[in-house]
Chains A and B, each alone.
Chain A
Amino acid sequence: MIAGHQRFNPLQRSLHWLMAVCILAMLFIGVGMVSTVMPKYLTLVSIHKPLGIAILVLALIRLAVRLRYGAPSLPADLPEPMKLAAYLSHYALYALMIGMPLIGWAMLSAAAYPVVLFDGVLLPPILPQSDSLHTLLWDAHFYLAFAFFALILLHVAAALFHALVRRDGVFDAMSPVPIQKEVAPAE
């Protein structure tokens, strides 16, 4: 991790907030579409697929940007368990951002559905037809979606805790605009 800067750079912050909107929309569309037989089912499915691929592409870009530019260090006085939770939850978020679209794509492939992104634009299958793989991937996509949402709630709770209770600059590092005056380095 590259230390010495207080905030994520503008590209990183833009990617974060753009993806936040996309992923939240994606999760709500996902649970909504599988709970209805109304015509909106088809509309939601037709958004879910290209949006999922968009998230995959953005997540790969974001991973590259993160590896290139790093992240601000966590406050030195943050308790070790919270630091560990922060590291692990971010690994899990990256894994889900990249993994969920791939699982969805693979799941459709294993069911021999054409993977239609837009009218007439198809993705190639990434797996052969397979009952057992389809079932495995379907279960993974379903349960990981709830895990993903739970993790996002935890992420939001932690962000607000940093912003409102600890006021330690962690939220400010990713906030769209600075919310605190840059605190001059102490000592």
Chain B
Amino acid sequence: MAQSPRSPARSMFGSLVLIAVVIGGGAAAFAYTAGWFSPQRLTPDRMVDAFTPPGGKPPLGHRRNHAKGICFTGVFEANGAGSALSHAQVFTRGQYPALGRFNLGTANPNAPDATVRVRGMGLRISTPDGQEWRTAMINAPVFPVSTPQAFYHLLLASGNKDPNAMKTFATAHPEIAAFGAWARNAPWTGSYAEERFNSLNSFIFTDNSGAEHTVRWSLLPAAQVVPISQDDLAKRGPNFLEQEITERVHGGPLHWTMVVTVANPGDPTADPSRAWPEDRRTVNVGTLTVQQIEPERNGPCRDINFDPTVLPSGIRTSDDPFPAARSSAYAKSYDRRTAETKYYPRTAAEAQP
């Protein structure tokens, strides 16, 4: 081996420094990637934390949002028309088992029904090819804001004690006006059965020829909408909606028509706060039938994450940034609540006082 011109001691010192630099650099790069140097990075943890107002207690054992709800089972019957848009098996004419959950858009599992404006439906449709289509929809026709970052700031503003926080937020995010108008003016109903549930986010359907269609979808209720004032709903009791839907399904199955709306080029596919024009092509792809109400606490929905990015081949996410944000936050909510089952055991008898 060639003799180094440097002294062996200096050479060894240099080698040790080099090793330290390599190891330190590797550790620093890892920490940077993990976000440890980036307190401003919007992480799933920060997003989920924001659902609990400062000083509040998170709903241990429950979903961090849409915490109040009731489960159902039923069937999705595809009429075959959706096959023109997507090669997913779920659109091939036939019947596929469905599992879902009616819910209220609140982080409080005990919120009185009449205090919650947004109602939702989580849905999972399973097909014989082993694939699943999970979606979580709400009754609002548009989402309040354009980006996940704006949604995070909306959560912070709504949990802020400063009376001007929401006004400041609305000035910075004027797109919230459309949602606000719906919240103020749209009629309330006295039943989950009378709600229309909308995907709001856009997704891409791929058909058999490989052609892609950017779409949103909605479930349109077969039940007659009977408007009710918020005050009258409050008088019916804090848990009226669960009792009502249980009785109604007991009397016979409920139906929703699934309608897929196809975007035109140039439509705001990345922004769920903006509706698409009314004249867009729609395709009625089938009917959801709710056959049975299942218990929330120990029912089949309890441990299902209605992650809107669990999609069959033939459906994928679009340029809409929300499904990714929702998926990351829903997973965090799921990881937390499934680790907290002692606070929300499967049987009420096991519950702590």
Contact = CB atoms under 8 A, between A and B. Distances in A.
Contacts of B324: 37-42
Nearest to B129: A120
B18 A111 contact: no
B147 to A, nearest CB: 10
Interface string B252-274: 00000000000000000000000
Interface stretch (A61-69, A72-80, A96-104, A132-140): A132-140
A119 interface: yes
Contacts of A41: 324-325, 327-328
A148 to B, nearest CB: 11
B211 interface: no
Q: Which of A33, A41, A122, A138 counts the most chain B CB atoms within 10 A? A: A41
A34 B44 contact: yes
Given A113-B310, A120-B131, A157-B23, A32 B18 contact: no
A132 to B, nearest CB: 7
Interface residues on B, range: 35 or more
A131 B338 contact: yes
Interface in B1-55: 1, 12, 15-16, 18-19, 22-23, 26-27, 29-30, 33-35, 38, 41-44, 47
B301 to A, nearest CB: 11
Interface in A135-187: 135, 138, 149, 153, 156-157, 160-161, 164-165, 167, 180-181
B124 to A, nearest CB: 9
Contacts of B22: 156-157, 160
B40 to A, nearest CB: 12
Contacts of A122: 130-131
A153 B338 contact: no
B327 A35 contact: no
A42 B303 contact: no
B191 interface: no
A180 to B, nearest CB: 7
A19 B329 CA distance: 31
B148 interface: yes
Contact of B19 (A38, A42, A157, A180): A157
B18 A42 contact: no
A31 interface: yes
Interface string B315-353: 011000101110111000011001101000000000000
Contacts of A113: 305, 307, 310
Contacts of A42: 309, 317, 323-324, 327
A174 to B, nearest CB: 16
A6 interface: no
Given A42-B309, A120-B313, A122-B130, A36 B42 contact: yes
B309 to A, nearest CB: 6
B33 A28 contact: yes
B32 to A, nearest CB: 9
A32 B41 CA distance: 11
A160 to B, nearest CB: 5
Nearest to A154: B23
B132 interface: yes
A27 interface: yes
B26 A111 contact: no
A161 B19 contact: yes
Contacts of B334: 111
Contact of A27 (B30, B44, B148, B309): B30
A135 B339 contact: yes
A157 to B, nearest CB: 5
Contact of B35 (A35, A114, A181): A35
Nearest to A123: B130
B35 A111 contact: no
A177 B329 CA distance: 46
Contact of B41 (A36, A111, A129): A36
Given A27-B30, A37-B47, A164-B18, 8 more contacts: A37-B329, A39-B321, A42-B323, A134-B338, A135-B339, A160-B18, A167-B1, A180-B1
17 contacts: A35-B35, A37-B324, A41-B324, A41-B327, A42-B324, A111-B334, A112-B303, A113-B307, A120-B312, A120-B313, A129-B303, A131-B339, A135-B338, A160-B15, A161-B19, A165-B12, A165-B16
> 10 closest pairs, A vs B, by CB?
A120-B313, A35-B35, A164-B15, A31-B34, A37-B325, A135-B339, A131-B338, A39-B324, A42-B324, A32-B33
